[in-house]
Amino acid sequence: MLELFISSFITFFVIIDPPGCAPIYAGLTSGASPIQRRSMAIRATMIAGGILFGFALFGEDLLRVLHISLDAFKIAGGIMLFLIALEMVFEKRTQRREDRAQQIMDTPEVDDVAAFPMAMPMIAGPGSIASVMLMMSQNSGLPSALTVLAALLSVLLVTMLALIAAGPLMRVMGVKIEAVITRLLGVLLAALATQFVLDGLDATVL
């Protein structure tokens, strides 16, 4: 179970990318007080957690209603995660997040960024939804499922702490260190996405 927890934790950490969300959140809440920033960080993580846990528990039923097989979802989800990995390696993902954040900052009537864009799509985006559904589909037993959910909860807690400490964290890390970490995580995600596709194709062929 420890191996599954570590594997799931790394998967969710790579997809949700707390170090990548922190600078965006710091920019979005630059004019807010420390209490407001803390409140929005907590609410953003809780909203994203509700979305992700909902898909983790009921996503398979949704696929069944839509007549989509798990193998087809593995292939589609793997391809989507691979595209996200390419964006991480070439820093396209960071640029897109920064552009989205700048659009929100340029809209003066938007003050609370907890639900949008932080909870969704930055934390609970298509990639994280796909990954949590894939991990749950591959670990359907109760102990395994609880282990995956525990890993997801752990990453969400790390994300919350990263958002709360966004300002000091960015001063410590710096832009260059963040870029290196993002590229390394992108390579790991590309390998994981490829494995998802291969598993889906293997099950389909057999």
User: How do the domains of the chain map onto residue ranges?
Assistant: 2-200
pTM flag (> 0.85): no
Alpha-carbon distance 17 to 23, whole Å? 11
Question: pLDDT grade, residue 32 (50/70/90)?
Answer: confident
Residue 125: φ, ψ to 5°: -95, -175
Q: What's the rounded mean pLDDT across residues 115-119?
A: 84
> Under DSSP, is residue 176 helix (H, G, I), strand (E, B) or coil?
helix
Res 97: pLDDT = 61
Yes or no: say if 4 and 144 are a contact pair by the CB < 8 Å rule: yes
Residues 46-104 pLDDT 10s: 999 999 999 999 988 888 898 888 788 778 878 877 887 787 778 766 566 666 666 66
Alpha-carbon distance 142 to 4, whole Å? 13
Of 11, 17, 1, nearest in space to 134 by CA: 11
Alpha-carbon distance 98 to 102, whole Å? 6
Res 200: pLDDT = 80
